Structure 1
Amino acid sequence: MSSDQPRPETAAEFTARVRAAFPALSDTGDGTAYFDGPGGSQVPAVVARAVADAMTAGLSNRGTVTASERRAEEVVVAARAALGDLLGSDPRGVVLGRSMTQLTFDVARTLADDWGPGDEVIVTTLDHDANLRPWVTWAQRAGATVKRLGFDPVTAELDDVTPLLSDRTRLVAVTAASNLFGTRPDVRAIADAAHTSGALVYVDAVHLTPHAVVDRAALGADFLACSPYKFFGPHLGAVAADPALLEILRPNKLLPSTDTVPERFELGTLPYELLAGVTAAVDFIADLAPGTATTRRERIVASMTHLEVHEGALFSTLLHALAGIDGVTLHGNATHRTPTALFSVAGRTGREVHEALATEGVNAPASHFYALEASRHAGLGDAGAVRAGLAPYTSESDVERLLTGVGRLAAAASSVP
């Protein structure tokens, strides 16, 4: 390395720099170690400022006449562009809505208008219910057959979809990463097989987007859904698709609302201030890792590639240590996964572990986390287990606090006669 080249940033320096951007993690915060990122991340100051600035700058309904109308229009266009860059998809096909759940119900209802008896829809028991129940609900109303793709209850690896496919398959809904176990299925292989049968593919990328590079086309997803509040943004949802595909779909809409794509899929007035926060969140992601990339998409790819390695190293430490604690059982061990650990402590309910850790300033909740069928299939029932998910702001100190707390609980439980 030449003397004029900057020294590479260490993992500790990266974490410290990222944490400095989050008010909740500052010296004036409450000192919480947040492992509940899979349910919603903390928010950097720049995102909160973007929301506040949009709300106070003067906004009107979208238009081109007044300055406030143009500001609203610019906010929407910028958010679509940002999400397009984040998801590797054409911004003209980015649909915005209240939540991923709401949008998925809307897309399912629209597609089901063309389904009937004899048609088949494939869902997986590994998925969050938001990518399962909408399809089951609308397929059943259309008289179509629902097939379920299972998974190994020990490894949490998804089964082979091929035996379920037929020339009557209309759609395959699959997660890009399980929010319960962290499993990352081979979505591209599933999509290729589904497309060979003439089916569409709807991918839930909510849990993948905060941890890895996402590229809708590379995944083979016809529809790709995400939730910005899982990657530092406000609470809303988005679905990305090819604009040409959206053009042939006719969703239910109000008579006076526009018939253009993607707006015809968006019900009511969009939350402009939250969309400003989405753009700020994507820009924050693009600057996570230093580099020489120029376009925002290139910077996002560089940052998420760096982040995946960074989180992977810390997660390896966490998994190894949890596995070494007597009385702790890890659930799922997929080969390819996000930094998400699901575990139980012998002699303790998940709720008891959650509550005990909370008294030590460690947020690690216990539940099925809306992956109810997955939890039941793995033998965890409706109670589920404790989930610890890493985020870019997770520090080694956070991990040590979690491990200390879990170790203390496990030891105390084992000493009870």
Structure 2
Amino acid sequence: MIEAIGLTKRYGAKTAVDDLSFQVRPGAVTGFLGPNGSGKSTTMRMILGLDRPTAGYVTIGGHPYRSLPNAPRQVGALLDAKAVHGGRTARTHLLSLAQLAGIPARRVDEVLGVVGLQDVAKRRSSGFSLGMGQRLGIAAALLGDPQVLLFDEPVNGLDPEGIHWVRNLMKTLAAEGRTVFVSSHLMSEMALTADHLIVIGRGRLLSDMSVTDFISANSADFARVRVPENAPEEREKLTSSLIEAGGSVMSEPDGALRVTGLPLPRISDLAHGADVRLWELSPHRASLEEAYMRMTQGVVDYRSTDDAKAGLLEPPQAPYGAYGDAQGGYGAAPGYGQPQPAEAPQQSWYAPPPPGQNPYATPGPAPAAAPEPSPADAAGTKTSEDPR
């Protein structure tokens, strides 16, 4: 088990982790969530003794990591898949780690098979793709057959098959009674993998509960109700009945009704009593991503603004304010003070028009006249263009 008590880490005036307390219990996959810059990586580094806390402490099995005898046999971690000497082969890298921890060499070949790298064991890691590097990092974490495992973004760079494999691996490790602590930004994957969630924001604990409880606590469940599209009077009649019964009704973009405050059986009874046909009556539960976004919306440090594309949506200025027309004259530029036909397609200026249809093209210079033949040419001197 991992236990943090009052864990705090400051870097000068910046507080990366602020009085953080939690437990990661064995037998379950615990997801570690939070926005960028929330302190997740710093927390995992303190768990592994790579950073010293400014205040508080964290233990693994009741002991600080630095006090564990032969720690690689008890704790496995993947924090940075790129932390590998590029000149070493996959097998040599793992073999060096095994020798430092007193792990038999045969275990190296076993974990290479577990992560699917047995066929590239003799290739230098510098030639590995991002996904292959992730697999090698997971192999290093599994090398000592530890009871406690920490993974920071373990599916980064993996293809769908690899993501599915990591998901099943995490669940299998937890089912064996191990402590599995996984940091990830992929909410959809955490929803399928994690049993419990620890969520932090700006270094502070925001939530410590099961996935199911987290979604329920940070989302509003509602019912989706749909009536025939060609029966607006039935929609109005049902809406009135639902509101009179104490429900709240909102229109969805696709035409359905979002109903809160009433259970599904009550909605069905009200529709039946109002003689309204229902095409849909279904419960909606928010996703983990929706619940997470709702909880962390106030602790996000990096927010995007709308791209106004200032200066990009206006047509470019024509040279000298003139445009050539089909007759070789000059007229007003299309779109400058003249209304466009309703059926004219609207096109951004940076999208090139079809060849020969550029309305902004100016007439090019007339082709130069052919030069007068020189006396040598007139006398029949052979030139480079003379087929003879």
Pair in the same fold by TM > 0.5 = no
Higher relative contact order (CA 8 A, sep 6+): 1
TM class, shorter-chain normalised? under 0.3
Bigger share in strand: 2
Q: Give 1 or 2 for the bigger CA radius of gyration.
A: 2
- Taking structure 2 as the reference length, what is the TM-score of the superposition? 0.27
Structure with higher helix content: 1
